[in-house]
Structure 1
């Protein structure tokens, strides 16, 4: 027995001496302490010490440090999913009798979550507008949070971040943005006065369609509150393996984002004049006001966009989607493969109309395939559905 223990100790010493090029995956649930003083300090500082991976883990911590730097924030907390991050922020920053404005076609699951919290005394209003003056008109005496996306889900419209943040600060309203579309590279809301940034790291950060992960970046005091409440209570802990894969994704993020930035412009330029498409939703082809906001806040373009087909013929919609050969029918986005996701799912027409969307609205993600390949695929699918032009 003593011989085995000696061998194990020698192996561990050798392991500490190598210099791995990639970050280590610290796959452990708990950590030991050198002495009582070390133990006492760790128990009193769980989020700044290694005690239990549900609190802090070296691999996860490295991802948090990198995301905080990329988003120009003081601190980051990583979660098991984007919804884990969203839920933790809402649980921590809101209380009974608070009011929330959900602005600019927010992700549907987020809207559902906030509405669920009405049973606990939190009220909300959905405001599908990009006009900050209109948003200000909807603010109530007990409004405590403005949660939004810019660019937004489905329509990819932008809001004036500085104007919204400046107003919110005068009313002590916390501003929360889902910044997933732009990635941590192409937009920095914290620089413009926004309080909290949320990312679904399953998308561009991961970049390979093989993880589910989320993150919140903000000031230290806000992240500390979220760590002690929403994060700890929900237990939405990111695994060390997923953190490692997200770190791998960050290494190629600039290259991938530069690729999709160039691809999406080529794809949109090729589709602009196609009469079988009524509208393309993306900041690159927005009106003058939207283009000005894109120029002000974005340093590059994400490649998630949407098209409205020329009419509301659902049979043509189905034909178009089924005719796509390169674009895969599927949820999420941000990986190698290009994706298509029609908003119509068979029985949800009423909900689509309420959201202000066209029945033949299709969200599309341009991946890392050659742009000519993607253009040809969309064109041939339109040919099948509508005939050639």
Structure 2
């Protein structure tokens, strides 16, 4: 199926809502039945009928169909945040006594799930450097049931060989789960590489306007039904109709935004690499990136997130640079219309900052929809103050 059809037509049945071009927001908590038998069937399988919007809702259904098609998956669930999607997807697939393998340095709330919450229920996790396949093999235990991937991650962009990990997991009956937020399905399709469950934070590129939160999981109908029947309904973390409608709206311009962001990112990347006050730049599809060849093999693109450091960077010089920016906003998250910056040292107490640790000097830059020259002028004047 072509991307244009998915974004503009798939899942939409306009004749059911007065031939409106934009789908309606079905802002209802519950749905009526005329026959007891129909209500009984809905109780027995809430995924098969509209019963209560905590479960299935018509507006959310349109979004689910589009997102599943984008990932090349059979089905999809949409949550009110990416963290909620990770929480439900993992809990549905682990039990007390299980062992999990997780790549090191995943998204902070994913890490907290594995390091703090799951140990309270008898689930152990081994964090590994996922850039080497041997580390997955060496971390395997007889009770390993789940592998959590994030490829690339959103700070230093380490990549895992997804096909190799999927093959290893399938040979042992292990479920694989990936956070694919960085690439989006336009630039990486893990389901086609054998990964079982694919997650994105829809807050980022899917929404695209920094005005709503969302998260999603795609996979086989069997896998999605398993999550829906237990964790999804029990936790009650499904997305609301209005937020789903905002994400549908975001999808209309999804491809166009990604293409513009990608082009601008390439220009800003070259500017930073050649700047005398910049020490180093990290970007998965730059030839200097340690895993460049693997990135080229399994990623079609790398969107708008990169990390760089200043020459002889200190807490003071990094702070001066970030506070000197006039048009690039300092904020968390990424994927919206506006360019953003966040220094790693914002999460480090001044007394704990170590200039000798490269990660302490990292400055993450997200490239939005502004003109490249506009952004480079802002970066230039801020760098001149360092």
TM over 0.5: yes
Look up the match of 2:363: 362
**Alignment match, 1:76:** 76
* Cα distance change on mapping 1:223 and 1:349 into 2, 3 Å: farther
CA contact (8 A) 1:312 1:359 kept: no
Match of 1:143 in 2: 144
CA contact (8 A) 1:105 1:153 kept: no
Larger radius of gyration: 1
Shift of 1:335: 0.9
What secondary structure is seen at the aligned counterpart in 1 of 2:224? helix
Deviation at 1:237, TM superposition (A): 1.8
Structure 1: state its 5+ residue gaps: 1-14
Q: Shift of the alpha carbon at 1:244?
A: 0.2
| Equivalent residue number for residue 320 of structure 1 | 321
Q: Return the offset for 1:137.
A: 1.6
Q: Which position in structure 2 is the counterpart of 1:28?
A: 28
Aligned twin of 2:286: 285
2:297 aligned partner: 296
Distance 1:53 1:136, change over 3 A: same
Indicate yes or no: 2:99 matched with 1:99: yes
Query: CA 1:248/1:33 → structure 2, altered by over 3 Å: closer, same or farther?
Result: same
Where 1:38 maps in the other structure, the secondary structure is helix
**Partner Cα separation in structure 2 for residue 242 and residue 46 of structure 1:** 21
CA distance in 1, matches of 2:67, 2:230: 21
**1:47 match:** 47
**Contact 1:87-1:113 at 8 Å conserved across structures:** yes
Kindly report which structure 2 residues correspond to 1:244-263, keeping only aligned pairs within 5 A, or say none: 244-263=245-264
- Match of 2:8? none
Pairing of 1:318-357 with structure 2 (within 5 A): 318-345=319-346, 347-348=348-349
CA distance in 2, matches of 1:209, 1:241: 15
Cα shift at 1:184 = 2.1
Match of 1:268 in 2: 269
TM-score between the two structures when normalised by the length of structure 2: 0.91
SS in structure 2 opposite 1:332? coil
| Cα pair 2:17 2:23 within 8 Å, conserved | no
Structure 1 runs, 4 residues or longer, greater than 6 Å off: 349-353
SS at structure 2 position matched to 1:283: coil
Residue deviations 1:332-384 (CA, integer Å, cap 9, x gap): 1111110001111264479988xx75212111100000011112212221111
Contact 1:54 1:237 in 2 (8 A): yes
